[in-house]
Structures are given as structure tokens and as C-alpha cells.
Amino acid sequence: MMKYRHLAKAVKGQNFYSFRVKLADKCKKNGIESRIADRWYPSSRQCSECGSIRKDLKLSDRTYRCDEWGFVIDRDRNASINLLNAKDYTVAL
């Protein structure tokens, strides 16, 4: 986000780590599980049905199409399913 000059000023002023700590505290207080996925976890590129990963997915592609067996789903929905089912996540900060 820091590469885009229109967002850089707004992003620089935010303290994302502080937000993350506060969110984790709220979740702990209310008994909600918090999941923090690895920064490079391929949630958008991975098929939520078969697990295959597309290397050529662009940001402008709003629909995910699996090359293996033709599964078609909205890209954001696919990513959310993958994050829900992620096995490699950390709960603690």
C-alpha cells in the first residue's frame, strides 16, 4: 500500500499493529477466536474446493476459475473460504 502515493500518506498515519493488538484483546475478552494468517498465504490464488494454486491470477480478475476442474466462484468469497479453512495460522501475537 505504501507504493501508491494516494494511499501512502493515509496508510503511514495508521498504526496497524496497535489495531491488531486491540482487536486480539477484544476477541479474547469476548471469547471469539482470532485468526491471523501468514502474510504470504495464497488465499485468493488457492482453489477452495481442490486446493490447487493459480500462479497467473491478476488483481483485476474478480472471478476465480479453477484450472484443475473448472470450479467458478467470486474471488473474495473464495479467499474468505480459504482463510476460514486455513491450517497455517497463528492466534497469538
> How far apart, in Å, are the Cα atoms of 74 and each of 14, 48, 53?
30, 11, 15
Instruction: Evaluate whether 10 touches 68 at the Cβ level (below 8 Å).
Output: no
Q: How far apart are CA 63 and CA 75, in angstroms?
A: 5
Range of lowest pLDDT (25-29, 37-41, 50-54, 77-81): 37-41
> How far apart, in Å, are the Cα atoms of 32 and each of 5, 27, 73, 76?
36, 5, 28, 23
β-partners of residue 77 are none
Q: How far apart are CA 88 and CA 18, in angstroms?
A: 23
Give the tens place of pLDDT for each residue, 49-92.
Answer: 998 999 888 888 999 999 888 899 999 999 999 988 887 665 55
Please state whether the predicted TM-score (pTM) of the whole model is above 0.85: no
